[in-house]
Amino acid sequence: MKEQKSRRSGIKVMSGLIVLLGSLSYVMLIAVLNGSLGFLSAMGVTVFGAVGVAKALGASIGMSYGLIMALAILCGVLRGILRYFEQYSNHFIAFKLLATLRSKIFVALRRLCPAKLETKKKGSIIAMITSDVETLEVFYAHTVSPICIAILVSLAVTIFVGVIASVYLALVALLGYVVIGIALPLISSKLLKKSGVEYRRSFSLFNAYFMDSIKGIKDILYHNAGEERKKAVDQKSDELLAYSHSMKKDITNAGALTELAVTVFILITLAVGILLYTKDMLGIGEMVIAIVTVFGSFGPVIAISALPGNLTQTFASGDRVLNLIEEQPSVYPVENGKDFDFEDLQVSDLSFGYEENKSVLQDINMRARSGEIIGIVGESGCGKSTFLKLLLRFWSKDSGSIEYSSNDIENINTASLLDNVTMVSQSTYLFDDTIEENLRVARRDASMEEIVDACKKASIHDFIMSLDGGYKSNVGQAGDKLSAGEKQRIGLARAFLRGSKLVLLDEPTSNVDSINEGIILKSLADRRKDICIILVSHRESTMSIADRVYRIQDGKISEVRN
């Protein structure tokens, strides 16, 4: 059903993420320039110090001590200003992009909704919106520009040393940059890969298990399984700690290796400088300036060596986000089709399966028209809810046809379809808001009278009035403060308020007692004149109001009563 994409390489993720920069790339350029010049200014302070020393040692420097001091101070001040602008631009890009990425993710989720989201774990979507996007901040603010800065600074220093002192010293410095900025990061990323992957896997397993335990805490208590669960959480936490230790050890080793390489290259530079001086190939003043310049220039390449630890995680996050943004929905909304007014529904030879070669519904034929109440019965898992979802085109059928007022569903504008057809699903979701706002989801501009009328029909008005806040009462997160039956009746009230011509009801009274069921069924029966209702239920009592009843069994449908 859903193709599993192979993981992109690091380069592909990086280029994909940079493409997302779009018009922000010029800000990135400013950040890199400020960063590079800023670092060079910082070096300038010590380099001008070295120039002063060189002058004292007798080198011919065409600047007064005063000017040298002034330039060193200027470099210091410039360093501060440029650093400010570098940080400002980096974070400007990062946060602007995070906002853009979040909105792209929401657009992608809306496009994929509902079919593809049914198969995605809600937890992983939440993780993507929160931690994955946050991780990408590291990429934009702390990865791309350090790499560019390291390249620019290293090149500038190599050229400077080559021009003012010696090509040999310049080559030693260049070799140092290549080893510390390219070779070592490649080696340490291999070194860190295994422990990094193990740590992250253990981390997400622990998180998932912990979240699951919190969500299921009621059931854990009911079955007195708390002690066992606690032991399992402890064990997973110990495992995580062990992986964290081994990863930290690898990171420390990689860091030590880099420091060692820096020290070795400083010593080589010193040795080469002294050698050149003793062979009369370099004056003392140039030697001091060149060596001090090279000594202070490893900062940006050291920063690159520190990247691999984060990078694997950044790439994994980038990969997930890019996958979601690029994922194709299984059903595209129709925008340039027809609008219609519901009069009748004709389903012919409809077949569907969520997975290939595993059909849920086969050759379904049924009809319904305005003024009718149609019942659908069948065992749990036979495909009743699936059938209703197909009528709303939440999924696309495999074959056959669904026609509303003689218009094929594939050619009907999605907005018009959703205006004409409403569904009350088996579980109604309530937002953490007031009852009134939860009802207005169905129709924003409804008057208070209309809202009250819908609630009376759904047999929930009296309950709402019994609450202190009435319609302004808050329902709590996910409707936690309401019983299952109360939530269901609010779902029904929403459908009544929406006023669609075809209403699909999936077990509308399964959590409602027989008195309230009677009131709801009477409301439904009273409305049958101008609308059509398709009613899925296990209960015989519910089916009593149906004009015709279909049974779904083994994927086939048959009319059982009319």
Ligand X SMILES: Nc1ncnc2c1ncn2[C@@H]1O[C@H](COP(=O)(O)OP(=O)(O)OP(=O)(O)O)[C@@H](O)[C@H]1O
Q: Which stretch binds Mg ion (CB under 5 A): 57-65, 271-279, 380-388, 409-417?
A: 380-388
Question: In this chain, which of 116, 384, 457, 501 binds ligand X, going by CB under 6 A?
Answer: 384
Closest CA to 371 of 527, 545, 548: 527
Q: Which stretch binds Mg ion (CB under 5 A): 237-245, 341-349, 384-392, 427-435?
A: 384-392
Asked whether position 425 contacts Mg ion by CB under 5 A, the answer is no
Q: Which stretch binds Mg ion (CB under 5 A): 3-11, 17-25, 379-387, 448-456?
A: 379-387
Cα separation of the two ends of the chain: 37
442 touches 497 (CB < 8 A): yes
Question: In this chain, which of 88, 354, 394, 463 binds ligand X, going by CB under 6 A?
Answer: 354
Minimum distance of Mg ion from residue 491's CB (angstroms): 14
Judged by CB under 6 A, how many residues of this single chain contact ligand X? 13
Minimum distance of Mg ion from residue 106's CB (angstroms): 28
Q: Residue 255 or 378: which CB sits closer to ligand X?
A: 378
Question: In this chain, which of 32, 170, 262, 360 binds ligand X, going by CB under 6 A?
Answer: 360
Minimum distance of ligand X from residue 464's CB (angstroms): 28
Cis peptide before 146 (omega within 30 of 0): no
Minimum distance of Mg ion from residue 325's CB (angstroms): 32
Helices (H), 165-222: 167-178, 184-215, 217-222
Tell me, letter by letter, the H, E, C secondary structure of 481-541: CCCHHHHHHHHHHHHHHHCCCEEEEECCCCCCCHHHHHHHHHHHHHHCCCCEEEEECCCHH
Asked whether position 385 contacts Mg ion by CB under 5 A, the answer is yes
Angle at the Cα of 520 from the Cα atoms of 518 and 523, rounded to 5 degrees: 110
Q: Show the binding pattern over residues 117-156: x = contacts ligand X (CB under 6 A), - = does not.
A: -xx-------------------------------------
Helices (H), 347-483: 384-391, 414-420, 435-440, 448-457, 461-466
Q: Residue 10 or 555: which CB sits closer to ligand X?
A: 555
Asked whether position 510 contacts Mg ion by CB under 5 A, the answer is no
Asked whether position 351 contacts ligand X by CB under 6 A, the answer is no
113 touches 333 (CB < 8 A): no
Q: How far is it, in rounded angstroms, from Cα 434 to Cα 436?
A: 5
Closest CA to 53 of 294, 296, 292: 292
Q: How far is it, in rounded angstroms, from Cα 183 to Cα 205?
A: 33
Q: Residue 298 or 387: which CB sits closer to ligand X?
A: 387
| Cβ-proximal residues to 408 (8 Å cutoff; 6+ apart), any chain | 401, 402
Q: Residue 382 or 519: which CB sits closer to ligand X?
A: 382
Q: How far is it, in rounded angstroms, from Cα 158 to Cα 151?
A: 11
Question: In this chain, which of 68, 321, 382, 412 binds ligand X, going by CB under 6 A?
Answer: 382
Give the binding site for ligand X (CB under 6 A): 118-119, 354, 360, 378, 380-386, 426
Give the binding site for Mg ion (CB under 5 A): 385
